[in-house]
Amino acid sequence: MPIEDHSLVHEFPEFKDDIHTLKMDDAHFKKLYEEYNHLTKEVEKMEQEIIPSTTLEEEQLKKQRLQLKDTILGYIKATQVAASKA
């Protein structure tokens, strides 16, 4: 089964510039970004069977990644709103 690209820029192409700016200027966002990338790499290793895991373990990591992705999207949108009010 081919592995999809789950990078944040691929997931949210409309926020590519925002992601780059936040990653460079916002320490909290950078931490979220790095955690998301770490989870994505771990899931990919499980999907490629580089790391032995159960289906349950893989699904749990995917759920964590999805929750983090939702958090990141909310963060991006909140910073846009704050920037538009400034």
Residue in this structure with the two tokens 């997931």, named with its chain if needed = 11
The reported pTM is 0.89
pLDDT digits (tens, 9 = 90+) for 7-58: 999 999 999 999 999 999 999 999 999 999 999 999 999 999 998 999 999 9
Domain count, the chain: 1
Element (H or E) spanning 37, and its range?
helix 27-47
- Domain of 75 in residue numbering reads as 29-85
SS3 helix, strand, coil % of the chain, rounded to 5? 80, 0, 20
Q: Does residue 4 lie in a domain region?
A: no
Q: Does residue 20 lie in a domain region?
A: no
